[in-house]
Amino acid sequence: MSDPTLPLLQIRDLRKRYGTTDVLRGISLDVHRGETVAVLGASGSGKSTMLRCVNHLERPDGGSVTLGGELVGFGQGRRGPRMLTESEIARQRSRTGMVFQHFNLFPHWTVLRNVVEAPVRVRGLDRTRAHELGMRLLTTVGLADRASSYPKQLSGGQQQRVSIARALAMDPELLLFDEPTSALDPANVGEVTSVMKRLADEGSTMIVVTHEIGFARAAASRVVMIADGLVVEDGPADRVLDAPRNPITRAFLENTRYGAGTATEPADQP
Ligand code: ADP
Ligand code: MG
């Protein structure tokens, strides 16, 4: 096991460019076990790209991501660092659970199967154990009674709660949320944020990209502001939200307060 006094996640000077655009220009961020970090930032500032580098859905161009003492995407070869194979990356990725803006549930699978498919495939759980695990997780998100429904029979808020249960199914050390409520009807936001708040209270380690300032205030221990591929502010949630030091954070919070910053962002990249 890794050293419990070190941050669970260490992002160092993370860089990513698409073509000639520098999207991440040197992001550094530590997340300790049990912390909930809310990440704020305008559309296009690099928030999703950062999360996708943490679980290696994207390969960074520079810098490093270390999760529980393991360098993400790289292993120790006989002559120094080597790139991990796809199956090694998949194993490493299962240490994190990701919740997307658009739930990405499989429409032709039941809710229960959506939740337990990964542990069944990866850990070879038998039907009974998978059913137990799935029902326990669905109970956690308040949807045990919808286990045999199909995603399209559920509201957006319910589907997002299923995808939270799915993210929990591999017992991840770190949960990543990418605007989990941005695609929801306003009436559905609260049921999702209250599940997330409970996970935070129970000691889960989470990074939540969100425009829900109320959620950040209630559930986050820290708030990080990203602008133009850089962390421009990082501090205790109350301090950043009540007395932002960076003018970009100040302007962002002003806009959000008056509703201008709450607009839904463009869809996730597939
Ligand atoms: P955010 O999540 O903060 O809105 P993103 O990380 O999604 O920002 O995107 C940051 C920038 O990188 C945007 O300008 C976006 O268009 C660009 N970008 C993101 N993914 C890709 C990609 N796969 N190919 C090219 N450009 C991309
Ligand atoms: Mg995004």
At 53-83, the pLDDT tens digits run 999 999 999 999 999 999 999 888 888 888 9
The reported pLDDT for the residue numbered 266 is 47
pLDDT above 70 covers what percent of the chain?
94
Region 41-61 average pLDDT: 96
The reported pLDDT for the residue numbered 257 is 75
The reported pLDDT for the residue numbered 262 is 44
Q: How confident is the model at residue 2 (pLDDT cuts 50, 70, 90)?
A: low
**CA–CA distance, 82 with 70 (Å, rounded to integer):** 13
- What is the tens place of the pLDDT at every residue in 167-208? 999 999 999 999 999 999 999 999 999 999 999 999 999 999
Which residue has the least CA distance to atom 21 on ligand 1?
18
Q: How confident is the model at residue 107 (pLDDT cuts 50, 70, 90)?
A: very high
Q: Which residues surround ligand 2, an ion (CB under 5 A)?
A: 48
Best CA proximity match to 46, nearest among 174, 178, 146: 178
Residue 91 has pLDDT above 60, yes or no: yes
SS3 track for 156-199: HHHHHHHHHHHHHCCCCCEEEEECCCCCCCHHHHHHHHHHHHHH
The reported pLDDT for the residue numbered 123 is 86
Best CA proximity match to 256, nearest among 192, 212, 219, 193: 212
**CA–CA distance, 111 with 144 (Å, rounded to integer):** 10
Domains of the chain are 1-95+176-260 (3.40.50.300), 105-172 (no CATH)
- Mean pLDDT, the chain, integer: 93
Helix (H, G, I), strand (E, B) or coil at 212: coil
- What is the tens place of the pLDDT at every residue in 228-268? 999 999 999 999 999 999 999 999 999 987 654 444 444 45
Region 223-232 average pLDDT: 98
The reported pLDDT for the residue numbered 258 is 62
Cβ of 101 closer than 6 Å to ligand 1, yes or no, is no
Which residue has the least CA distance to atom 1 on ligand 1?
44
The reported pLDDT for the residue numbered 166 is 97
Best CA proximity match to 158, nearest among 216, 107, 103, 100: 103
The reported pLDDT for the residue numbered 79 is 86
Q: Which atom of ligand 1 is nearest to the CA of 45?
A: 3
Judge contact between 208 and 38, C-beta under 8 A. yes
SS3 track for 215-249: HHHHHCCEEEEEECCEEEEEEEHHHHHHCCCCHHH
- What is the tens place of the pLDDT at every residue in 149-171? 999 999 999 999 999 999 999 99
Which residue has the least CA distance to atom 25 on ligand 1?
18
The reported pLDDT for the residue numbered 261 is 42
- Tracing tokens 């910053």 back to the chain, one arrives at 261
Best CA proximity match to 14, nearest among 84, 85, 89, 72: 72
Could you tell me which residues come within 8 angstroms of residue 243 by beta carbon, excluding any fewer than 6 positions away? none
Judge contact between 75 and 88, C-beta under 8 A. yes
Cβ of 41 closer than 6 Å to ligand 1, yes or no, is yes
Q: How confident is the model at residue 122 (pLDDT cuts 50, 70, 90)?
A: confident
Q: How far is the CA of 111 from the centre of ligand 1 (A)?
A: 30
Which residue has the least CA distance to atom 23 on ligand 1?
269
Cβ of 148 closer than 6 Å to ligand 1, yes or no, is no
